Amino acid sequence: MIEIWGKRQPTQAAATEAAGRETGPSSRVGLGLVLAAVALALAACSSPFKDDPNSQASLDKLYAEAKDDLASGSYERAIKSLERIEGRAAGTTMGQQAQLDLAWAYHKSGERAQAVSTLDRFIKLNPSSPAMDYALYLKGLANFNEDLGLFGRLANQDVAERDQQASRDALLAFRQLVDQYPDSRYAGDAAVRVDFITNTLANYEVHVARYYYNRGAYVAAANRAQQAVQEFQRAPATEEALYIMSQSYAKLGLDPLSKDAYRVLEKNYPQSSFITGELRNKKAWWKLW
């Protein structure tokens, strides 16, 4: 349209000069037609693109604004823009990037469920994306709970009622990243988090087993301790889990099982304090919190 406008349409000065030379009715009609044609040409060239929210220019502008909002910490405003981009640019590279940025904004806003849902959608729709390692890492971060190792505000919450599913989901995401993308720039940090979550989940299971034992629920205590041993074999908390199993089975009169658990404890932890001294002071041992 710009090319047509530049070569064929008369300029305003030329039209005015022509109007001055030709003053008859036919010349005035001709001038009106020319001006109408110019107006139509301008409208045809500009309107469909200038106001189209799905045009690349509009999307680029919207994405630039979203990035500025992310950088300044205006996550709620960024989320609104990125949600619009994700819908308008679906199936494109920009749409994929908007999904990842949207998940990050949700994560920074404390909206874990929305962040995880967005990442699950990205992972499902883009299995071969070069950003898959980052998506897994961000999913792990969204589920990661650094207070797990401190058991949160345990004094105000029944330990048997605490939900550790988010931490288990984080563990799965970080493990998948380390296993499938060992050369990723995020693999090293993910491996550290795998160890941390593994140990703290094991500690949690043992804490619950101890909770049940203190209340005389020896079957529940033995089962929970056994779960910790089976699921987290290399975690330090396994030592205590074996001891709880031995003590719980003894309380239940299951001497063979008690002796088996104790034998495994002796073999794997020969210098364990549960063997060398704490057995003579069970009351002090159970007062760990």
Phi, psi of 97 (to 5 degrees): -65, -40
CB of 171 closer than 8 Å to CB of 136: no
pTM reported for the whole predicted model: 0.69
Mean pLDDT, to the nearest integer, of 204-225?
A: 95
Contact 79, 106 (CB under 8 A): yes
Q: What tens digit of pLDDT does each residue of 80-108 get?
A: 999 999 888 888 899 999 999 999 999 99
Mean pLDDT is highest, among 64-73, 132-141, 163-172, 193-202, for 132-141
What does the mean pLDDT of the chain come to? 79
Give the Å distances, CA to CA, from 164 to 106, 149, 193, 200. 21, 11, 15, 10
